[in-house]
């Protein structure tokens, strides 16, 4: 298991916009923002020891049960991405967190992705408590992140906002 990164927010995930992520509008397609964010979730799960090996060894899986994305600015093919992750809350079998995607060299915010991730038992494919080794790592990250300001994009309700008359 890797050594846990103490950063708040977690700021270790980097990626590049692949050619196959571009759609007919000439920018990264809405679905591939979520592909890019899901890889940042793998980076987060790796911090907790519940990533690829966890599923390959048939111990467990993690399923996203809810997701919210804000698309703030376009990114193009080849653009470098920096994704940070802030833990917002957790319980015995879930973690609630938000990713922020930045253009890594220009620095602007491209998108955010708030997620609810649930631990799943491999055999039953049903929810189950986090394994013993993961829970202290989740608690430690929650402790490190709890004083971060809550991002404005967290907890949003979707709707068309009208100007008051």
Verify binding: residue 124, another protein, rule CB under 8 A.
no
Go through 135-151 and write b for each residue having 16 or more CB atoms within 10 A of its CB, e for each that does not. bebbeebeebbeeeeeb
Q: Which is nearer to another protein, 10 or 118 (CB)?
A: 118
- DSSP secondary structure, 76-123, as one string: -TT-EEEEEEEEEEE-SSEEEEEEEEEETTT--EEEEEEEEEEEEETT
What's the angle, vertex CA 65, arms to CA 60 and CA 70, rounded to 5?
130
Verify binding: residue 130, another protein, rule CB under 8 A.
no
SS3 38: helix
Q: Which is nearer to another protein, 11 or 38 (CB)?
A: 38
Q: Considering only 56-64, 76-84, 126-134, 138-146, which stretch makes contact with another protein by CB under 8 A? A: 56-64
Q: Which is nearer to another protein, 84 or 112 (CB)?
A: 112
Verify binding: residue 68, another protein, rule CB under 8 A.
yes
Residue written as token pair 């890889």: 39
Verify binding: residue 31, another protein, rule CB under 8 A.
yes
36/34 Cα distance (integer angstroms): 5
Shortest CB 111 distance to another protein, Å:
10
Verify binding: residue 121, another protein, rule CB under 8 A.
no
1, 18, 65, 123: which one contacts another protein (CB under 8 A)? 65
Q: Which is nearer to another protein, 12 or 67 (CB)?
A: 67
């Amino acid at each position: 298991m890797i050594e846990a990164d103490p950063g708040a927010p977690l700021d270790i995930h980097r990626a590049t916009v692949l050619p196959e992520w571009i759609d007919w509008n000439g920018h990264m397609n809405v679905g591939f923002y979520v592909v890019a964010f899901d890889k940042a979730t793998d980076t987060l799960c790796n911090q907790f020891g519940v990533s690829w090996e966890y599923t390959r060894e048939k111990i467990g899986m993690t399923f996203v049960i809810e997701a919210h994305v804000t698309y703030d600015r376009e990114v193009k093919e080849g653009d470098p991405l920096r994704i940070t992750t802030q833990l917002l809350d957790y319980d015995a079998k879930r973690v609630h967190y938000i990713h922020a995607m930045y253009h890594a060299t220009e620095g602007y915010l491209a998108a955010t992705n708030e997620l609810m991730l649930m631990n799943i038992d491999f055999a039953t494919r049903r929810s189950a408590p986090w394994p013993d080794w993961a829970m202290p790592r989740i608690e430690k990250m929650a402790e490190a992140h709890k004083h971060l300001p809550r991002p404005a994009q967290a907890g949003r309700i979707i709707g068309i906002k009208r100007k008051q008359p």
